[in-house]
Amino acid sequence: MSRKKLSVFEAFSLSFGGQAPFTSIITFGTIGLQLGGSFLTIATIIGTILVLLNGIVIYRLSLRYSQHGGYFTYAFYSLTERLGLVTGWLFLLYAFTYGGTLLAGSIYIITTYLKINADLIAFLVLLFSAFLVIRGLDVSVKYAEFISIAEIVAIIISSVVLLLETKPSFNLTIPANPFLVILYAIGMPIGYGNLNPMSEDIKNAKKIVGIITVIVILLGGLLSALLFYASALYGTDLIEILLDKAGFIFPYLIFSALNGGILGGIAYIIAMSRIVYAMSLKNFMPSIISSLKYNRPYNAEVISLIIYTVILFLLTHFVGLYTTFLVLGGLTVLSYLIISLSANLSLFRIALKKLRKRKMEITLAVFSTILSLIILVYSIQENTPIINYIFFAWIIAGFIYAEVLEIAGNNGKNDED
């Protein structure tokens, strides 16, 4: 593709905006504050450190690969074709559920407090998202630059206003189930994963993708911890606290939250499209998906957009915004942990080739793998059965799909660069 590539700030804006920190705070954070109270501040710092370890793994892998595909590409070349396919398959679930969680959660919060018809808002939001995606990456990035700054400002202003109010001293309380609170805290910084699948769209991708990934995790996590610290001084109902203590800027906060949800969806639709495009190049998807139009993987973008829009609207209409948010949120954490395990194993496999020179990378990969496995097991235990059923059904479908391709004789590794 010969289109103009993204600068450092453009790539940062899309990644940080795709993480949608303020929107994540009022979705994952609202529940986390109710469960953990003041402990959520500490849980967010712990969650950020845990996610950062996986982010550093991506940093190391991004130094080696600059093709489209991210997690799929890492597993495809470092592990096996089949694991690459299944990793890409699981990333599609992660991208859809994370983007969908942000959008459903933000619409739920907004419609609850503004008493607006949820179906109408969902339709208009999805229509606007579709418009931006169809217009292309340049337009989406300009939107991301504006909204990412708006979200940072929203968090800082809210935190400062709450900290300047007359308040009681901070009182740390340990909840009955602190690990569950950490799980919700992890849901906020894991939104960094939208950038590495689109490495070919970024200038000097090998140098900056990993650095931006680490910055986005740290900035998003620490800003979230700041607002949780300030909010926990007043109670556990985050929206009511903001409405009561920062009511004069509440319309701006609603604006930031809604647009953050929209941007999160756009960023992950684009990430989905790059994964689908990369899988198509390796004959894991129909070849028409990898056709370029307007110097971009237009077919992959349109297919990803249609899948995201149709399924999300049907879910919000028939299942409801809150249930959609809870189910997609649970699936997000599970799918993120599996693709992170794949990345950890990819780095481990690469580092083994030069064991003496890469002991630090092996240590990082092993430690991150152990932590991800522990969190994964606990997440499965804490999730409702329906979330686990959907998740394992998706994994099984991915392996069945891989078997079908194997029988059909498709082989992608002949196309290795």
246 is a domain residue: yes
What percent of the chain clears pLDDT 70, i.e. is strictly above it? 96
331 is a domain residue: yes
The reported pLDDT for the residue numbered 244 is 87
Measured over the CA atoms of residue 333, residue 378, residue 186 and residue 107, the dihedral's sign is positive
Nearest partner of 202 among 147, 281, 137, judged by Cα: 137
Output 176 or 308, whichever has higher pLDDT: 308
The reported pLDDT for the residue numbered 200 is 86
411 is a domain residue: no
pLDDT band at 414 (very low <50, low <70, confident <90, very high): very low
Report the C-alpha dihedral over residues 363, 366, 371, 377, rounded to 10 degrees: -170
pLDDT digits (tens, 9 = 90+) for 246-300: 888 888 888 888 888 899 899 999 999 999 999 999 989 998 998 888 888 999 9
The reported pLDDT for the residue numbered 243 is 86
415 is a domain residue: no
* CA dist., res. 330 & res. 382, Å (int): 9
Per the structure block, which two tokens stand in for 214?
């680490």
pLDDT digits (tens, 9 = 90+) for 191-205: 888 888 888 888 888
pLDDT digits (tens, 9 = 90+) for 394-403: 999 999 999 8
Per the structure block, which two tokens stand in for 365?
């990969």
pTM of the model: 0.91
pLDDT digits (tens, 9 = 90+) for 46-57: 999 999 999 999
Nearest partner of 71 among 260, 328, 275, 242, judged by Cα: 275
* CA dist., res. 364 & res. 361, Å (int): 5
pLDDT at 180 over 60: yes
364 is a domain residue: yes
102 is a domain residue: yes
pLDDT at 416 over 70: no
The reported pLDDT for the residue numbered 166 is 64
The reported pLDDT for the residue numbered 1 is 46
Give the residue-averaged pLDDT of 70-74.
91
Q: Output the domain CATH number for residue 265.
A: 1.20.1740.10
Counting the structural domains of the chain, the total is 1
Q: What is the largest CA-CA distance in the chain?
A: 69
The reported pLDDT for the residue numbered 105 is 85
174 is a domain residue: yes
Residue 182 structural domain: 8-404
The reported pLDDT for the residue numbered 2 is 46
The reported pLDDT for the residue numbered 203 is 87
pLDDT band at 302 (very low <50, low <70, confident <90, very high): very high
pLDDT digits (tens, 9 = 90+) for 81-137: 999 999 999 999 999 999 999 898 888 878 877 778 888 888 999 999 999 999 988
* Number of residues that make up the chain: 417
pLDDT digits (tens, 9 = 90+) for 323-377: 998 899 889 999 999 999 999 999 999 988 877 677 888 999 999 999 999 999 9
* Mean predicted lDDT score pLDDT of the chain: 88
* CA dist., res. 362 & res. 352, Å (int): 7
Output 109 or 142, whichever has higher pLDDT: 142
3-class SS string, the chain: CCCCCECHHHHHHHHHHHHCHHHHHHHHHHHHHHHHCCHHHHHHHHHHHHHHHHHHHHHHHHCCCCCCCCHHHHHHHHCCHHHHHHHHHHHHHHHHHHHHHHHHHHHHHHHHHHCCCHHHHHHHHHHHHHHHHHHCHHHHHHHHHHHHHHHHHHHHHHHHHHHHCCCCCCCCCCCCCHHHHHHHHHCCHHHHHHCHHHHHHECCHHHHHHHHHHHHHHHHHHHHHHHHHHHHCCCCCHHHHHHHHCHHHHHHHHHHHHHHHHHHHHHHHHHHHHHHHHHHHCCCCCHHHHCCECCECHHHHHHHHHHHHHHHHHHHHHCCHHHHHHHHHHHHHHHHHHHHHHHHHHHHHHHHCCCCCCHHHHHHHHHHHHHHHHHHHHHHHHCCHHHHHHHHHHHHHHHHHHHHHHHHCCCCHHHCC
Alpha-carbon distances of 197 from 66, 121, 277, 396, rounded to whole Å = 9, 30, 10, 23
416 is a domain residue: no
pLDDT digits (tens, 9 = 90+) for 381-391: 888 899 999 99
